[in-house]
């Protein structure tokens, strides 16, 4: 089964043809998708998509860009929302020091609320990290000492030291279309260093379309291209890459029944 572990199907880019996008994904061999919540205000739209489709699940969370809109977010609120039977993860959350669209201290505070919710629910934490390697590593190491939680470094493009430190914590990593970009050798180096049993794939659609679709709207139908890129980088054939990514996905997203 090809699984797209990170889609944003509620995004306005899909308003004209959302159902057709979902059907194209299925036709391309994508058997399961996780649609991601980027802010709690969007959760009803995210949840409606997963409720309408047996092969789509959802997460609950607030992206670091949006942390400023809910600076006092409590773990209890996330825990309550995560009780929905189609909710399978906490996030997308984390730190983004590139754009700094929310104050860094607010990002960290909201991030820690998500970690507490992941620990309490047993659901995996879906982490966004950009230009925040040292702070990210410190927070995750400190929080892990307080109690373990499942951890997915989504669309990993950060440095080798953060990869080493979070891999030591048991983190999973997801590979996106960025790994296919001609100038992304550093990302391919990171993919080569990831633990082989903790790698999954994603499109992050409608963003980050892989080659040859770069610059256009991304779709979950392009997940097989990301899988092929992973296979090439790791020296696996397609069947092995698919089997490994599937096994890693279900080892992390344990609320989803494995077919």
The predicted pLDDT at position 259 comes to 84
- The residue length of the chain stands at 259
Quote the number of domains for the chain.
Answer: 1
Q: Is residue 144 part of a domain?
A: yes
List Cα–Cα distances, 248 to 93, 181, 197, 209, in angstroms. 21, 24, 6, 23
Name 172's bridge partners: 152
Q: Is residue 209 part of a domain?
A: yes
Q: Is residue 77 part of a domain?
A: yes
What pTM was estimated for this model as a whole?
0.97
Q: Is residue 258 part of a domain?
A: no
Please write the tens of the pLDDT for every residue from 195-239: 999 999 999 999 999 999 999 999 999 999 999 999 999 999 999
Structure tokens at 3: 């699984």
Q: What are the residue ranges in the chain where pLDDT is below 70?
A: none
Q: Is residue 257 part of a domain?
A: no
Q: Is residue 109 part of a domain?
A: yes
Q: Is residue 259 part of a domain?
A: no
Across all residues in the chain, what is the average pLDDT?
98
Per the listing, tokens 């001609």 go with: 182
List Cα–Cα distances, 63 to 8, 101, 177, 207, in angstroms. 12, 10, 20, 15
Residue whose C-alpha is closest to residue 198's, from 206, 190, 208: 190
Q: Is residue 86 part of a domain?
A: yes
List Cα–Cα distances, 155 to 44, 73, 134, 178, 238, in angstroms. 24, 24, 18, 8, 20
Burial class (CB in 10 A: 0-12, 13-18, 19+), 217: middle
The predicted pLDDT at position 94 comes to 98
Residue whose C-alpha is closest to residue 46's, from 93, 10, 72: 10
List the 2-7 sheet strands across, edge first. 2-7, 30-35, 56-60, 87-96, 125-130, 151-153, 172-175, 199-201
Q: What CATH number has the domain bearing residue 80?
A: 3.20.20.140
Q: Which domain holds residue 212?
A: 2-252
Burial class (CB in 10 A: 0-12, 13-18, 19+), 180: buried
List Cα–Cα distances, 23 to 15, 207, 257, in angstroms. 14, 19, 22
């Amino acid at each position: 089964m090809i699984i797209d572990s990170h889609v944003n199907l509620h995004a306005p880019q899909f308003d004209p043809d959302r159902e057709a996008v979902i059907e194209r994904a299925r036709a391309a061999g994508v058997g399961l998708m996780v649609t991601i919540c980027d802010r709690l205000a969007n959760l009803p739209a995210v949840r409606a998509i997963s409720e309408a489709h047996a092969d789509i699940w959802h997460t609950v969370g607030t992206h670091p860009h949006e942390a400023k809109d809910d600076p006092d977010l409590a773990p209890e609120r996330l825990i309550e929302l995560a009780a929905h039977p189609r909710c399978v993860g906490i996030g997308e959350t984390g730190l983004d020091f590139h754009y700094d669209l929310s104050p860094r201290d607010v990002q960290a505070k909201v991030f820690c609320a998500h970690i507490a919710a992941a620990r309490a629910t047993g659901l995996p934490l879906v982490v966004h990290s950009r230009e925040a390697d040292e702070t990210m590593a410190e927070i995750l190491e400190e929080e892990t000492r307080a109690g373990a939680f499942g951890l997915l470094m989504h669309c990993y493009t950060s440095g080798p030291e953060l990869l080493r430190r979070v891999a030591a914590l048991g983190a999973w990593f997801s590979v996106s279309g960025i790994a296919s970009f001609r100038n992304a050798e550093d990302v391919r180096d990171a993919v080569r260093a990831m633990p082989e049993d903790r790698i999954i794939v994603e499109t992050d659609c409608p963003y980050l379309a892989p080659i040859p679709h770069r610059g256009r709207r991304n779709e979950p139908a392009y997940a097989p291209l990301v899988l092929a890129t992973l296979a090439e980088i790791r020296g696996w054939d397609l069947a092995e890459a698919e089997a490994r990514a599937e096994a890693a996905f279900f080892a992390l997203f344990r609320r989803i029944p494995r077919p």
